[in-house]
Amino acid sequence: MKKALCFIMTAALLAGSLVGCGGSGGASSTPTQAAGGSEAAGGGSGGSSGGSAQAAAGKTTADGKYDLVFWVYSDAVLNDQGKLFDQWVKEYCEENENVNSITLIGKNDSDLLTSLMAGVGLPDMFFASARDMVQYKGAIDLLDLSSIYAEPEYKDGFYPAAIDAISEDGAMWAVPFMSYVPIIFRNTDVMAKAGIDWENEDLTSWDKFYEECEKVKAAGIDATHSWAQGGYYCPGAILACDAQNMTAGVENGETTLKADQLVRTFETVKKLEEYSNGMSYDDEAAAEAFKAGELAFIAAGPWNEPDYKNAGVNYDIQLIPSYDENGYTGGLQGWDFMYGVNTGDEGRNEAIRGWLKKMGSFEVQQKFAQVIGRSMLRQDAMDAPETQQTEMLTILAKGLKCGMNQMDFGHSSVFWTSAIADVAPSVANGSITPEQAAEQFIEGINGLYAEAGE
């Protein structure tokens, strides 16, 4: 569905990783500095047109081989991600005699977006948000990747919604790669102090969550942070748990949601404020309180787990609670895709397609999940028992099947769920009722559609 660009420009810190595949076996230099990271998301629209067709950053060597350039999130050139991509580049160059090297250039989120939207000096391929796919197609001559999906066993491995997102006008404009599912970490030491049998008490419902918060509060410990502060992440996660009961969509430039479908979301936001310590979920102070045993529950993403592990916190992982039996628990989810740029050179274009096909393979996506601990957009990889060897990956695989996307990835530029961030604080502090919040949320959504002209 939807999205209005709300990107805050930060200082851009660019890091490059050159992975050479010729000479002595694919030596690589991994940068020691980079900024930003990926927070999966999405967007998309009609045919890919506009921008220069030539990927200026890449070149062809004297021996006729291609040197390709791949813009990526900064994380992809660092640490374990950097090692994985180095290995895959080495393999690809060895498997393809016409490819001499692939240079990975890491960029932070804002720099990646603005560089792509400039439409000049482009790479051969890039790894970026699905949330901005519409904008990319307007600024860049994206490469049609339909041919890599010709084999049903390859195409059918992805989540159907991901294939739908990249498909339009008879073409396929990206490779679905990474996603995220919002989760709740529970400090099990705090729960034990509060008399909660956490090993046998999963967060099966919001009522169960309130019950656990009451017990923690009675033990004199803060239960959770504010679910109204910090933008759309937490109230959006609550919203998505009622997705089965919502008519999300757009018609004649306005949302098809009804106010009465949204009231329960804002009632939950208000109720959770009773157990809040007033901090935003992404405040460093909230993370430190959780690690110190001064906060029982924190909503976060899988990328937060290494920090908690390194701090020696005892915790378990839960999906966002559901409202109804067998209800949605996957929260509000974001996606990241990989795209190719039409260079005007069919030989180079085929080399780009081959690399992107490898990135969408079962083997690559399973390995990325296993090593990095992130959820991927190949369902067959996420569902494989060999993938689900950790609590995190088991939880993420479950959540991917019962959540709601941030927007209509691939077909709209309106990030409509982001409008909840403007309303949630007011209902939490009591200045408006949940019913009024629902009406204001709808007004906010319609404002985003009007601004985007959709």
Domain 183-329+415-452, CATH number (from 3.20.20.80, 3.30.200.20, 3.40.190.10, 3.80.10.10): 3.40.190.10
Dist CA 29 CA 118 (whole Å): 28
pLDDT digits (tens, 9 = 90+) for 333-372: 999 999 999 999 999 999 999 999 999 999 999 999 999 9
The pLDDT of residue 406 is 96
360, 363, 369, 371 alpha-carbon torsion, rounded to 10°: -130
- Superfamily of the domain at 15-180+333-405: Periplasmic binding protein-like II (3.40.190.10)
The pLDDT of residue 279 is 97
In the predicted structure, residue 291 carries a pLDDT above the cut 60: yes
Dmax (CA) of the chain: 73
pLDDT digits (tens, 9 = 90+) for 89-108: 999 999 999 999 999 999 99
Dist CA 90 CA 75 (whole Å): 19
pLDDT digits (tens, 9 = 90+) for 52-99: 334 445 666 657 799 999 999 999 999 999 999 999 999 999 999 999
Dist CA 302 CA 390 (whole Å): 12
Q: Where are the domains of the chain?
A: 15-180+333-405, 183-329+415-452
| H or E, element range at 127 | strand 125-129
Helices marked H in 278-345: 284-291, 305-310
Cβ-proximal residues to 363 (8 Å cutoff; 6+ apart), any chain = none
Q: How confident is the model at residue 119 (pLDDT cuts 50, 70, 90)?
A: confident
Amino acid 172 reads: M
Dist CA 144 CA 128 (whole Å): 17
For 77, other C-beta atoms within 10 Å of its C-beta total: 26
Lowest mean pLDDT among 46-50, 129-133, 158-162, 164-168: 46-50
> pTM of the prediction?
0.86
Helices marked H in 241-400: 263-272, 284-291, 305-310, 346-359, 362-372, 379-383, 391-399
Q: What is the DSSP secondary structure assignment for residue 430, as one 8-state letter?
A: T
Q: Say how many Å lie between the first and final Cα of the chain, rounded.
A: 10
**183-329+415-452: same fold as 15-180+333-405?**
yes
In the predicted structure, residue 50 carries a pLDDT above the cut 70: no
| H or E, element range at 165 | helix 160-166
**Which of left, alpha, beta for 447 (phi over 0: left; psi -120 to 50: alpha)?**
alpha
